[in-house]
A and B are shown apart, each in its own frame.
Chain A
Amino acid sequence: MKPIKELNPQFLESKENKENLIQYLLGVADNYLILGQRLGELCGHGPNLEPDIAITNISLDLLGQVRSYYQYISQLKGNRTTEDDIAFLRKEREYKNVLLVELPNTDFAYVIARQYFFDVYNLMFLNALQQSADETLRALAFKGIKEASYHERFSGDWLKRLGDGTQESHNKMQQAVNDLWIYTEELFYKTPADQAMIRVGVAPDMDVHKDSYFNKLKDQLTIATLGVPDVPYFQKGGKQGIHSEHMGRILAEMQYMQRTYPGAKW
């Protein structure tokens, strides 16, 4: 697809632009890292073999995608920053993922609700990102969308299977949907860096897709015989670096090896 806008060739010569781009990229990429880590926890713990393999496959895709983004960031940062530094050596407040992806795997219904809420957004996002003014991002979007559509098919199928399944699975699915719904809107939250990148055409303005996102969720929940939560407010914070109590625990586990044995390699 063709970019909506052409990027000024001198764009990256401005320090401010570069920093905004890095912050924007972190806001995108950290979602993949943290969700990938969360899903990875389920390796060997899935409810049965097939979903176990599926979830770890999805985790692998996300971790693979995040590497490309971090490689791009490390290239922008220079100073021999590596993708591992970015993944493993930041402090909690420097991670810019949304709260949704850091929430625990409470039970399989939560895993599916979290995944579906994210996948639907991610597909719309990657679709729009294919028209980014940034060539690297266009390529990553084009690549990522193929994998993301498999993810959405998986989580969407399970949403319906559990919602429209037994009374027990229905109740659990409804509970998960109710609890996670307040975290959906943060996906559309824009930081000042995001806004700057939207202005130059690097980032898509996801506000345009907000209605279709929520309409899609509502439609699919209805098909799954689930009720659509009606909440007066939404929770946010992660994109600004203000995380839930769960984040510290994820980082403790994820960063343990690099912090104990700095520079450790396979």
Chain B
Amino acid sequence: MKDISDFILNIIESVMDPEIPVLNVIDLGVIRDVDVVDKHVTIKLTPTYSGCPAMDVIGDDLERAFAAHGYTTQVELIMSPPWTTDWITDRGRRALEEYGIAAPLNETADKDALLNNKKLVKCTNCGSKNTNLVSQFGSTACKAMFQCDDCKEPFDYFKCLK
């Protein structure tokens, strides 16, 4: 991504993932490039999951956020290289955990966790790793459902996508 002014960055960071309202689009890692010419902003955005309805909303929200400062916006979708959960920033991972969504593990650990072979996903409530997969699919395309066997809290796990 090119260098952009703090002013522009702040506007972008004010846009949150509509499904995970603690994660801004920079921390989600979907912004590839931003180009500002006079009062027109071109944003290149990588979709997360193909069918994720949040993408359309994010595009609209970006337009709205910039319009409030007198900018017109054009959002372009970039398919290649595809988005990966590795692009979620450390700040984003912390925000997820605090919100009650376990952050994605690395690829191998993720596979073990989702096949329920090993207990690796940490409960977002009590921190125990004594957790169980309830379903590989969750409330949105990017999540799986887990439950903690110690504190009994059900929680979401953000699946590793690589």
Contact = CB atoms under 8 A, between A and B. Distances in A.
Interface in B94-147: 114-115, 134-139, 141, 145
Contacts of B52: 60, 64
| Interface-central residue, B51, B141, B162, by most chain A CB under 10 Å | B51
Contacts of A53: 135, 137-139
Given A147-B50, A150-B136, A57 B141 contact: yes
Contacts of B161: 146
A143 B137 contact: no
A61 interface: yes
Query: Per DSSP, are chain B's interface residues mostly helix, strand or loop, or mixed?
Result: loop
Interface string B54-86: 000000000000000000000000011110000
Contact of B79 (A54, A63, A140, A146): A140
* A-side interface mostly: helix
Contact of B137 (A50, A62, A138, A146): A50
Nearest to A55: B137
Contacts of B53: 60
Interface residues of A, number: 27
Nearest to B162: A146
Contacts of A54: 135-137
A142 interface: yes
A68 B79 CA distance: 9
Nearest to A146: B161
B114 A153 contact: yes
Given A50-B145, A139-B82, A144 B138 contact: no
Interface in B6-56: 47, 49-53
A152 to B, nearest CB: 11
A209 interface: no
A68 B49 CA distance: 12
Contacts of A143: 50, 79-80, 82
B51 A64 contact: yes
A61 B79 contact: no
Interface string A107-147: 00000000000000000000000000001101110111011
B137 A64 contact: no
B96 to A, nearest CB: 19
Contacts of B141: 57, 60-61, 147
Interface string A134-175: 011011101110110010011000000000000000000000
A61 B50 contact: yes
A67 interface: yes
Contacts of B136: 54, 150, 153-154
Contacts of A142: 80-82
Contacts of A140: 79
Given A139-B79, A154-B137, 5 more contacts: A49-B135, A54-B137, A58-B137, A139-B82, A150-B136
Question: Which 4 residue pairs are nearest across A and B when measured between Cβ atoms?
Answer: A64-B51, A64-B50, A139-B80, A50-B135
Interface of B: 47, 49-53, 79-82, 114-115, 134-139, 141, 145, 159, 161-162
10 contacts: A54-B136, A60-B49, A60-B52, A61-B49, A65-B51, A139-B80, A139-B82, A146-B162, A150-B137, A150-B159
